Structure 1
């Protein structure tokens, strides 16, 4: 197939493009930086500079590629994690999930693209009632009112309505994905909050890329959780990450102090977060993980 990857030089795009090429697909991938066109060429794609927030730029790039399938991987996450000011840290990514998604779908309709696969997020943000592990039948946390949550809801609604597939990736780890977090862990600036009972789901970049290839090739529709086999509480995965990084065990701080220092999102994630089940993706996409658990995968980070 002719596949258009919007966001081909991000941490996932760089793992996804080579897998698509290896499967015999013709890939056009985008970047916002002309200096990265050479990287896309080395990965086996035809590179194009595109501004996902500019409807004309998106329309021209898609019209030139005339793809059969489009993959939306556009994000703009940079700098040190700033969980306390989450919406500010994710401001451009939120716009890409709102405006950028709409631009891509408009361009897809204009040239007759038959299928769209889009990146969403499902790590700790499942509905905070009931059990610790959620399926695709469970909603994302409806109490989240920030711009990030609104952007994700919009992306999922419009992509599913267009007959596409939404992939709720767990928290990424792998080359380039967790460097900033590992550095915070080494500095003992990533504490466990309260009892650390909130669950998260993780996924290795290579496994996330493989799931994306399968969603493209199966012309998948609907929502899929793309996470590993072991949702786990922060009290388990964070000390293990520290040990793998050769760092001292993380400190513990009470909830009241964490609210002041790190904000509401961090407290929710570490004390009430819900992880996700990957059973549907395994069953319907035939997905098999090379890294079924973060326990082994974290050891490869350093």
Structure 2
């Protein structure tokens, strides 16, 4: 079970996205190689590795992607190294008959989007605006649902990638105002993309305006998994912490 990450501090700077993920990307590449080598020595191991879904999706076509859809062939400049590391991890994992569990945007206790977390505090302070219409589609996953899906993958599912997300992908323009209401905060500011670009950079603007969501149909069908928080609407109200 490969759950290694170097994340856990403040939210990465979207303008220098790859820099913030550099150590985690080493774990996704060299770290995965070491674990696969160890698994080969032991023999008979079912290998499972965590990945991510959402912004890595191709940013053209429909708003919701499945595991059959390609990853973004033209990623933003600041995210190229991170997407390359994700591609590598998924490729070498599935080549040995393993499963890549692609978590959506995690929220809940201990997360950036959880009680006392950085994103929640940004929303309270009105420092997380809806940018450029907020058409970017996000797929969320409560931390407990990520754990239950991963546990299911220990014994179920054929080799391949699985999107571990809730049932309701939603644009920023929909979920962010809802979150402010849950937190009792003022509605988010709305600003044009050109105004936000110096602060968010190319990748941050994409997160707000062009990213695509993900379908969980395959995980529900092949892993026999059902998220406890079937939608972020319930999760934001009951599961932040």
Asked whether the equivalents of residues 157 and 222 of structure 2 are also in contact (C-alpha less than 8 Å), the reply is no
Note the 1:116-131 alignment, pairs <5 A. Answer: 116-131=47-62
Structure 1 position 190 matched with structure 2 position 128 = yes
Aligned partner of 1:294 among 223, 232, 240: 232
Unaligned 5+ runs, structure 1: 1-70
| Residue matched to 2:5 | 75
Asked whether the equivalents of residues 133 and 231 of structure 1 are also in contact (C-alpha less than 8 Å), the reply is yes
**Bigger radius of gyration among the two:** 1
Q: Please report how far the alpha carbon of residue 189 of structure 1 lies from its aligned counterpart in structure 2 after TM superposition.
A: 1.3
Aligned partner of 1:278 among 203, 216, 228: 216
Mapped partners of 2:9, 2:103: distance in 1? 21
Deviations 1:69-88 (A, max 9, x none): xx111111133212222112
Aligned partner of 1:208 among 142, 146, 167: 146
Structure 1 position 107 matched with structure 2 position 38 = yes
Asked whether the equivalents of residues 167 and 223 of structure 1 are also in contact (C-alpha less than 8 Å), the reply is yes
Unaligned 5+ runs, structure 2: none
Kindly report the root-mean-square deviation, in angstroms, between the aligned alpha carbons of the 2 structures. Answer: 1.3
Q: Please report how far the alpha carbon of residue 286 of structure 1 lies from its aligned counterpart in structure 2 after TM superposition.
A: 0.9
Asked whether the equivalents of residues 125 and 269 of structure 1 are also in contact (C-alpha less than 8 Å), the reply is no
Structure 1 position 133 matched with structure 2 position 64 = yes
Note the 1:190-269 alignment, pairs <5 A. Answer: 190-218=128-156, 220-269=158-207
Q: What SS does the corresponding residue of 1:262 show, helix, strand or coil?
A: helix
Mapped partners of 2:72, 2:59: distance in 1? 6
Q: Please report how far the alpha carbon of residue 246 of structure 1 lies from its aligned counterpart in structure 2 after TM superposition.
A: 2.0
Mapped partners of 2:44, 2:120: distance in 1? 40
Mapped partners of 2:191, 2:4: distance in 1? 35
TM-score, length-normalised on structure 2? 0.92
TM-score, length-normalised on structure 1? 0.74
Q: What SS does the corresponding residue of 1:263 show, helix, strand or coil?
A: helix
Mapped partners of 1:158, 1:257: distance in 2? 41
Asked whether the equivalents of residues 200 and 234 of structure 1 are also in contact (C-alpha less than 8 Å), the reply is yes
Asked whether the equivalents of residues 157 and 223 of structure 2 are also in contact (C-alpha less than 8 Å), the reply is no
Asked whether the equivalents of residues 131 and 190 of structure 2 are also in contact (C-alpha less than 8 Å), the reply is yes
Q: What SS does the corresponding residue of 1:273 show, helix, strand or coil?
A: coil
Structure 1 position 175 matched with structure 2 position 109 = yes
Question: How many residues are paired up?
Answer: 232
Mapped partners of 1:161, 1:238: distance in 2? 38
